[in-house]
Structure 1
Amino acid sequence: MALSVTFNAASQIANRQLATSDAALTSSIARLSAGSRVVSAKDDAAAMAVGSRINAKVQALRQAGVNAGQAASMVQIADGAMAKVGTIIDRMKSLAVQSSSGQLSSAERAMINTEYVALRDEIDRISGATEFNGQTLVGYTGAVYTLRGDAQHGVVKLNGVALGLGDSFTQTDLDLGRVTYENDGSGAATDRLIVSVSDQDGNALGTIAGAGSATTFEDAEYRNSGGLGIINASTAYARAAAYGTNAAGNGITVAVIDSGVDTTHSQLTANLLSGTDIADGDANPDDDNAAVGGHGTHVAGIIAAVNDGIGTQGVAFQAQILPVKVVATASGGGIDPNDVAAAITYAVAQGAKIINMSLGGLFPSAAENAAIDAAVAAGVVVIAASGNSALSDPAWPAQYAIDPNADGSMLAVGATDYLDHMASFSNRAGVAKVATVDAPGVDILSTYVGNTLAYLSGTSMASPLVAGAAAVLESLFPNLSGKEITNLLTSTARDMGQVGADSTWGQGIIDLARASLPQIQIDIGVGSGGDLTVSNGGSGLVTNAILDATSVYSSIAAPTSRDYSIKVATDTGSSDRIGVDLDAISSYNLGLHLTKVDSAANAESAISALDTAMDRLVKARAGLGASLNRLDFAAANIATTVENSEAARSALLDLDMASEMILATSRQVLVQVGVSMSVQGNMHQRDLLHLLQ
């Protein structure tokens, strides 16, 4: 080969071959490392597309298999409960036959009836306690009545045990005469008892007579208003017509103890009272602090911005805002606890029914606490933000909500996002878990200084949502006290995290749909009058005639079963689901809750009822058996489909390791040879230099 100064052809050829061999070796190494012959789309685009779809379907099918397995476990649990109830019915039938025989005396029948009633109650216990993933599977006891307005001069008892606010009893309890009112003998002429009426899951029992449609209220302004949809505010608005009251805070004054309020904001002025400036000692509560200005205006809008079709609306858009400024105009944004205490006192004196404090610190204030004591004693609901430091306990004064002196009329509020996750910045419920609720507090749109709107985040935004919700409930149920309103919020909150109040979520996210369920008030006359009449210090039976669910529901959907739709495939058609019906087997559903065997006649009636109950139970178990078999076949089919799909995917994408290793070895040799030849090619230039010496 000719020697050239400007071009080394041998070296160029060797380098080009080396690059090709190195690329091939790199590709082999990538395939061997991945275990797949298609590492990127350039390897085989069609195979990658088909294989990816198969892989996605396999993953979904695996989850469908889990669904089928879990559903089968649920059905087996229900079947086990039904088997035990069947055994109990057998024993009850024997007792009924025994009691119906003529040779027994009334005393002996009474003893037999004692066991019979105990077994009947055990059916209810089993049906109510049979759960899967926190859901009652086979228990239903009719309407559920929850104490919302406590008796003032007595106590309500269930089977002799006193009930408190938020406690419940069932339709079966009423039917069996288990619910009583006992007067305290104070001599008061009247008393009252208020209950909400729901199904066993805390939802509406049926169609509420006279209620409107929630969607009527869900316009663009509603949707713009952060969090209203999450707390189901429109449902509460729609029920006001049914109750003959208001549901948007009409007539309710909410004090906003904060940085002040933009007193000229077009979406606030119609609902704004004059207020005052505690920090500066004047009557101008304008939101004008350079450091934190806008905060109080934002809070006020969340509570009661008008519903005018522009921008955003408050939860209680007909409530009145009493602005109480506790941040001095010329300050750096700090707050004196003594000013907060004075603001609370001022708000109570001005007739505020609710106080919102989107503020706080790390330490308690005796002055603040004393002012809160006086406020709750006056029937005021106090709402305070938990704080934004991601601490395990609420800040102060929110943490004071658990103090006995707060009397259950104060709530701490944590913040959530739009996916119902706890906001990362929010302080947790901690020691105040029983007095903490949550509400949306991330990217909340509301009014801001300068007649504008702004998005802000914080427990400062969650707290006014709860305050506004309290105003909605105060206007919807004007007969409830402040303490009863806070209990209504906590006991109807959507439980999050661990079951019951926990140290992260407290009681959960407030839910106005549950909180606004219809209520029935019983007027109790002492000596005479009322829906229920008792003597001074005496007691009376609360009956169906007094508490009639049909008085607030135009139709009642009493469930006799729980219907589950189990997803066992990956498409969206109805054929991809298996329906599982779990029939309720409480004594109420089986027609046994009123049966007894204390006489021969009653025993004969019980025998007939027990035969019917056994027929229902056998039919229910047969349905379970069919569902269980179908789920088993579905799970087996899913397993086979997954196996075959994996085989197809493997054929498309998996690598023949032995063949690829042979290729990799040969390519590695070529790379080594290429390196050597490249070196040899460069030797030609040295030969040229020797000629020039």
Structure 2
Amino acid sequence: MVGIISNTTAIGVQASLKKANSETASSSKRLASGERIIEARDDAAGLAIGTSLQGNVITLNAALTNTAQASSLLGVADGALKNIGEILSRQKALATQATSGTLDATTRGYLNLEFKNLKDEINRIAGSTNFNGIKLLDGSIFAPAEIKTDAKANATSVQGVLTFGTAGVAIADGATLTINGTVITFDTTPSSDPRQADATQTTIAGKATALYNAIQNVINSLDPARADDKANLSALKFELNDTLGQVTITSKSSGTEFNSGGGREINITGSVTFAAATDLTLNGTTALNVATVYDLNTAGGVAGVTGDLNAGKFATGGTSAYDSTASTFARGTVSDSILTAIDVVAAAAGAGNATGVNTSGVSNNSAFVGKVSGFKAVYSSPDRVDLSIKVGNYTYQAKNVETTPAADTIVRLSSIEDGGGFFDLQVNDSATSGQTAVTNQKESDDFAARIDKAFEGLNFFQKRTVSSYVAAGSVFPTGGTTQSGNLSGTSFRLINSSFENLKVEKVKVEAPVSGGTEALIEFTINGETFRSGYNNFGVTTALGSSIAAAANIGFVSTTDPQKVLQFTNGAVQIDITNKAEAEGLQKAFEEAFGVGEGGTSLSFQVGTKSTDTVLVQMESSATNNIYRNADGNVVDISIDTLANANIAGDVLDKAISTVTSLRATIGALQSRFAYAASNIQSSIQNQDFARGIFLDTDVASESTNFASSQVRLQASISVLAQANQLPQSLLKLIG
């Protein structure tokens, strides 16, 4: 229908005009901005993907800058190391020249003057070489791994309870009770023997008290003949409950070694007169009789638990101080004749405490390391003192110590506090020590001072588990896919006299040399080299080319052979037969200890994620790190004498090798960053291309769209002008 009120034709043409105008405007914006997506509604999915790719490209460009900076930094370090290497070569030439037998001291002194100046130049270069203020060769960007050890007071003690029964009946005259080797005799006739208990008591309270008093009499005895009994009972804590007729016995030393089946059992034996269950019971169930030796925790007693720092004993027939289940050891030389010498072999052979100082009974005391001093002697009676010392949170004490024994005598100092254990001193006979009987407090102080003096030559070591070692997973040879071992279930323990600020600086694993059978493993801890070739007690034992499953091996310090790093393998043999296996094990150990993961290393992000990094760390190239002897120990060198020149030559060979190794490490990093840069450039190219597909205007296609929309726009305008004239044309029909 054709009318003059509505013009549907014009309305339709208007819609086409708007659409053509919108398309023309959009094409104009795309062509003018170069962006395919002007508004999110244009392509929401494409915008999300393209924006993500654009972010990656921006990040990768920054990462490419990082690789360039890292390469520049490494170039600075390599140039400095090159100069240090040349200086070392010159020093080696001087050292070789100084070995000539034709040189006199004056001429050799001239050579030594240049030699020392070159040493100073090495240290100057190492201390001043930097990149943007970051020192590169002074060791400040070297990231060793901190060693943390377990040292909690979590070992517990074995305990048992003796209970007297049969109220109204006295204990038979002559009945005996043996506690930890000391025989207590119940007797109706009083005597001076401190081991005698009153057998006239008929109440359970009286009988328990009689036993308790006899025990205390032995511990406080002045009788030199009772020294061993004093030591036996001083290892235990006794508590009386006269109401229940009980004496509770607790080991002062903590750990399973004092349980049933342990090597230092605390046992109890009663005579036949205790055969009836109601006479005397242990832990409420066992009747004591002479035919059976009962462990303290038998039948309902409390078993001791081994903790981080448990007490123990030397192995029978052992040849090392560390052939022991104990955690604390005395090492060194007694420096006063008041005590007998340290005799580890005698103690390990089963004599137990036949050594000047035996700390194998110490437990739960992390402070019992390094130097120990501070003995106090309180005068108690002529020739007797109460000897004590506080170590950490524990005070160790021995009552009525004889100062001038006629024979070597064991003095046991037991912890007053629960769980600290005890340690033994073997006091020399007075003829050997020259000690005179104390008669007053001043002389008692002098006696304590001699004990301190004896301890000056001693160091105390502890064996602790390295808790910062995180062992897990297979060990793969470099470039291989078949495991050569597995660190799951492995562990390290460190025997040392100090555990403050310990760090693993380097791990080195080398396969046997051609024709050889002995691999080499070294750990550098605070500058000390711990080397393989020992068992876990520090006794020389070949490593071979593998570590057997469940094997225990040791790494001994080349500086102080008393320091041992112990390793216990898990259920899988670890092979070190070739270079690839050695490199794989070295990497696994480094990761397990965290070597190179410290905050002092430099990190360069070379990818789109913060975890995609390359760490750069460099050891110090100063002479206090590279001048090392064959054992890996830092030494100072000169060429002022023929002997020193010969030594210097060997040290310089090792220093040149060390610097060469440092340069090789830098070269490997330079190569890695070069490949990283190449990969980043490839990623930028590909991801930017992908980004362009989603976000960039296709000019050829869009220009065609723009021309088409312009034609449609012009056509719409022309047609709309004519459509608007249709109603006017209809008026001609009316008139």
Common fold by TM > 0.5: no
Structure with the bigger RCO (C-alpha within 8 Å, sep 6+) is: 1
Normalised by the length of structure 2, the TM-score is 0.36
Q: Which structure has the larger Rg?
A: 2
Relative to its length, the structure with more strand (as a share) is 2
Normalised by the length of structure 1, the TM-score is 0.39
